[in-house]
Chains A and B, each alone.
Chain A
Amino acid sequence: MNSSPYRYRQGLKEGIPVGLAYLSVSFGFGITALASGFSAIQAILISMTNLTSAGQVAGAAIFAAAGTFLELVLTQIVINARYALMGITLTQKLSSECTTGHRLLMSFGLTDEIFALAVSKPEPVGPAYFYGLMTTPYIGWALGTALGAYAGQLLPEQIRAALGILIYAMFLSIMLPVAKKSFGVLLTILFAIAFSCAFHFIPPLSAVPEGYVIILSSLLSAALVSFIRPVKEEADREA
Chain B
Amino acid sequence: MKLNFLLCLLGMAVPTYLIRMIPFTAFRKKIKSRFAKSFFYYIPYAVLAAMTFPAVFYSTGNIWTALCGFCVALVLSLLSAPMTVVALAASLAAYLFSLLPL
Contacts and interface: CB of A to CB of B under 8 A. Distances in A.
Interface of A: 16-18, 20-21, 24, 38, 42, 45-46, 49-52, 54-56, 59, 62-63, 66-70, 72-73, 76-77, 80-92, 100, 103-104, 106-108, 110, 112, 115-116, 119, 158-159, 161-180, 184-185, 188-193, 195-197, 200-201, 213-214, 217-219, 221-223, 225-227, 229-231, 237
B102 to A, nearest CB: 13
A222 B42 contact: yes
Given A38-B5, A108-B17, A168 B59 contact: yes
Contacts of A69: 1, 3, 7, 11
B49 A231 contact: no
Interface in B32-71: 34-35, 37-56, 59-62, 65-66, 69-70
9 tightest A-B contacts by CB? A87-B24, A162-B95, A169-B90, A192-B49, A218-B46, A226-B38, A217-B50, A168-B56, A169-B73
B55 A172 contact: no
Nearest to A105: B21
29 contacts: A45-B9, A46-B9, A51-B16, A59-B8, A62-B8, A69-B3, A83-B19, A85-B23, A87-B21, A88-B23, A116-B48, A161-B61, A161-B95, A165-B59, A165-B66, A168-B56, A172-B73, A172-B74, A173-B87, A175-B77, A188-B42, A188-B45, A201-B54, A218-B46, A219-B43, A227-B35, A229-B38, A230-B35, A237-B41
Contacts of B3: 62-63, 66-69, 72
A100 B51 CA distance: 31
A17 to B, nearest CB: 4
Given A165-B59, A173-B77, 13 more contacts: A42-B5, A76-B19, A86-B44, A87-B24, A112-B44, A162-B65, A164-B61, A170-B87, A172-B74, A172-B77, A193-B49, A217-B49, A231-B38
Nearest to B35: A226
Contacts of B1: 68-70
Interface of B: 1-3, 5, 7-9, 11-13, 15-17, 19-25, 27-28, 30-31, 34-35, 37-56, 59-62, 65-66, 69-70, 72-74, 76-78, 80-84, 86-92, 94-95, 98-99
A200 to B, nearest CB: 5
B98 to A, nearest CB: 5
